[in-house]
């Protein structure tokens, strides 16, 4: 995100410099070209610095509660950008993940349908900037009671289940079915 902000600011500065340089030079192509070359060097320097930072300090995978179950799609081993992207893909193209075992780590959340009183449980995953989140619904394999058998809302949780559809009130929904959880 810092790299994006730096590049955005730099790009704006380059555009202002170029427009000011062209206006001041009366359209002098040599002056404008010189400004572009100086700006390009600065962008290249920022990209090189960013690559150096990334190679020296790779993004760590978050540490969620252990759940010793193997999965076809193990989101607990991916960095936050890949987790968010994969969960987004699961929501957009659910048929590609249907009947696969999925393990995910995130934070626990719960919501209640005000009409029926039925509770729905989620493992919420966020992207690297924590600005966007996707909730991956899970349906527990065992008989559970909320709040006794669940962590507090916002607490770390790991869930694993078979990704598939279930019907609720005549509508199909996707989630992790027969899920187990650790918190």
Which class does domain 73-182 fall in? mainly beta
Distance separating the N- and C-terminal Cα atoms of the chain: 30
Domain map (residue ranges) of the chain: 2-56, 73-182
pLDDT at residue 28 in the model: 57
CA–CA separation, 90 vs 111, rounded Å? 21
pLDDT in tens for each of the 183 residues of the chain?
443 444 344 333 433 343 444 444 455 565 545 554 544 445 555 545 544 544 443 455 567 889 999 999 999 999 888 998 899 899 999 999 999 999 999 999 999 999 999 999 999 998 778 788 889 999 999 999 999 999 999 999 999 999 999 999 899 999 999 999 999
Placement of tokens 């070209």 in the chain: 33
Residue 158: strand pairing partners: 105, 182
């Amino acid at each position: 995100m810092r790299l994006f902000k730096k590049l955005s600011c730099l790009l704006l500065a380059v555009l202002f410099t170029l427009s000011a340089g062209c206006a001041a030079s009366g359209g002098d192509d040599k002056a404008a070209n010189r400004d572009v070359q100086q700006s390009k060097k600065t962008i290249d320097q920022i990209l090189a610095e960013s690559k150096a930072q990334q190679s020296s300090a790779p993004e760590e995978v978050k540490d969620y509660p252990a759940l010793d179950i193997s999965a076809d799609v193990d989101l607990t081993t991916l960095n936050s950008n890949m987790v968010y992207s994969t969960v987004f893909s699961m929501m957009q193209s659910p048929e590609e993940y249907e009947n696969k075992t999925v393990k995910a780590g995130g934070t626990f959340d719960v919501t209640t349908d005000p009409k029926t009183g039925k509770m729905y449980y989620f493992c919420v995953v966020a992207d690297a900037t924590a600005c966007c989140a996707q909730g991956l619904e899970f349906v527990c394999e065992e008989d559970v009671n909320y709040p006794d058998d669940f962590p507090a809302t916002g607490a770390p949780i790991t869930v694993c289940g078979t990704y598939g559809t279930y019907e609720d009130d005549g509508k199909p929904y996707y989630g992790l079915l027969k899920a187990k959880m650790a918190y």
